[in-house]
Chain A
Amino acid sequence: MTEPSSVGIVTPQTAHFSEPLALKSGAMLPQFHLTYETYGELNADKSNAVIVCHALSGNHHVAGKYSEGDKYPGWWDNLIGPSRPLDTNKFFVIGLNNLGGCHGSSGPSSTNPATDRPWGATFPVITVEDWVASQARLADYLGIKQLAAVVGGSLGGMQALQWTIDFPDRVRHALVIAAAPNLTAQNIAFNEVARQAIMTDPEFYDGYYYNHGVVPHRGLRIARMLGHITYLSDDAMDEKFGRRLKDGTINYSFDVEFEMESYLRYQGDKFAGEFDANTYLRMTRALDYFDPALGYKGNLSAALAKVKADFLVVSFTSDWRFSPARSREIVKALLDNELSVSYAEVTAAHGHDAFLMPDPHYHDILRTYLQKIETGDAA
């Protein structure tokens, strides 16, 4: 085995879809495009493709860099590359920006071809089902009939699960990490506060802020700060920041006193400078609405009756936003259907964020499972 390494320099691509997409809300997207990246080679019988679904704020840039000078690689770079857990010597990995996103795919900030202006608030509300339907279109476009695996953490894990429900014959393995079968009331509450922060920002203009040359920076910033609090565990925060003071002394002011505040402000500003508020609203709503058991009187086992894929479900002990108990609900429903499932509960201190960390045992789990997946001809 070669030394694990990055996929190197990557280039995003765009796929255009001229066939309309009927959305779960009843709305229709007459056409759309998806921005995506691929790593590794699609093999001769096209049996080694893996889609990596992104979470709330992710995008198609999952691994590698755009240039040698790039400060940061893609958001899950530690997972993907030659001899990394999701090994690009074996797999053809696809990352895409979800519909409604703000990194190149059709979304509120992209141009509505019918009006030649940004969609803004008129861009429809998108669900996890819609994402999966659009991802299936991308698989068609790439000539892939069946995926070796769909991998995702958090909201990405929900997409992986939805894939196995909507396309039982098109996905052989689902890796559902730090996910849940639906959001708890507490989780919906966090999302609502985030949305209210954005929508009550005077520069939101009912979602048409593009026309006014402004962005609801303050709202988006607060939304992100709130998010960051929930992605970390109490212990991890204490360890990382504790009560440490920014200047080493108390100034009796409302400016940044504690390092915790400094971190949140930095993260909030950074995010608000690069993410679209309308996209944030839609991503959180997709989370809220996700509930495959809804049409089955809350019975998740019944909702998964047609699923055929094999599963790896992973949770993290300190994740209180998507707790292990929620992952165990998914596992139980899979067991009830006598599906092939393994479940790991990783001891980790980092809370929900742990799914993006290169913890050695966690990566061993993913590596070992992924190595076992059969693919046909070598690339």
Chain B
Amino acid sequence: MTATHTNFVEYAKIRRDFALIANWIKPGAKVLDLGCGDGALLGYLRDRLDVRGYGVEKDDVNWLACIKNDINVIQMDLEAGLSGFEARSFDVVVLSQTLQAVQNTEGIVQEMLRVGREAIVTFPNFGYWRHRIQLVAGQMPVSKNLPYQWYDTPNVHLCTINDFDKFCANHNIQIEERLVLTNGKPVGLLPNLMGSLAMYRLQTR
């Protein structure tokens, strides 16, 4: 393939979570990225860690962007499940900032842990203090990680870090690692209040 794709290492300076996701992935791993957009994360992981990656994307424009970025991409709707993928056929299945936009949340997380030995899930933390303040002020939160108005948002299943912790406990999912970020920097104290982005590394218990 000719190299005319995006410089992903440069791009990752904007998407700080890419590097943190990469820290959880072994070089040469086989990675499936669900809702992969233009393939930027997979491109970054390939260029930095030499991962063998496949993306899943339903949008035509994003799909074409993946091909331009030399990313293998399967056009399908996540909501239909991952029946086209064998159990345990990937080292890692990633769902990056898409969890909040899927209808069948339980089904997709379970499918990720069927197809992958591990799952990485990231989502905007609805419990972030800036979101809470806006709610207290009487309006739906809008922020860098939640850039939509209530009437045009694709997000249907927003949750807090506490909610997702409970979800994992109730669904027999082992949290291997959890990282909470604000402006790309790790948050230690009061993560459910101070963190804007949550990252989880998950396995089946």
Residues of chain A whose beta carbon lies under 8 Å from any beta carbon of chain B: 328, 331-332, 335-336, 338, 340-345, 347, 361, 364-365, 368-369, 371-374
Contact = CB atoms under 8 A, between A and B. Distances in A.
A341 B84 contact: no
Given A342-B67, A365-B64, A372-B2, A335 B75 contact: no
> SS class of chain B's interface: helix, strand, loop or mixed?
mixed
Given A343-B74, A361-B60, A374 B1 contact: yes
A140 to B, nearest CB: 27
Nearest to B70: A372
B39 to A, nearest CB: 10
B97 interface: no
Contacts of A335: 54, 74, 84-86, 89
A344 B67 CA distance: 10
Nearest to B76: A345
Contacts of B86: 332, 335-336
A345 B60 CA distance: 9
A116 B1 CA distance: 50
Contacts, number: 54
Interface of B: 1-2, 30, 52, 54, 60, 63-64, 66-68, 70, 72-76, 84-86, 89
Given A331-B84, A344-B75, A372-B70, A364 B30 contact: no
A361 B60 CA distance: 8
A369 B84 contact: no
Contact of B72 (A342, A364, A371, A374): A342
Nearest to B74: A343
A182 B1 CA distance: 30
A302 to B, nearest CB: 13
Contacts of B54: 335, 341
Contacts of B84: 328, 331-332, 335
B67 A365 contact: yes
20 contacts: A331-B84, A335-B74, A335-B85, A338-B30, A338-B52, A342-B72, A342-B73, A343-B74, A343-B75, A343-B76, A361-B60, A364-B64, A365-B64, A365-B67, A368-B67, A368-B68, A369-B67, A372-B2, A372-B68, A372-B70
Given A331-B84, A361-B60, A368-B64, 7 more contacts: A335-B74, A336-B89, A342-B67, A342-B74, A344-B63, A347-B60, A372-B70
A335 B55 CA distance: 12
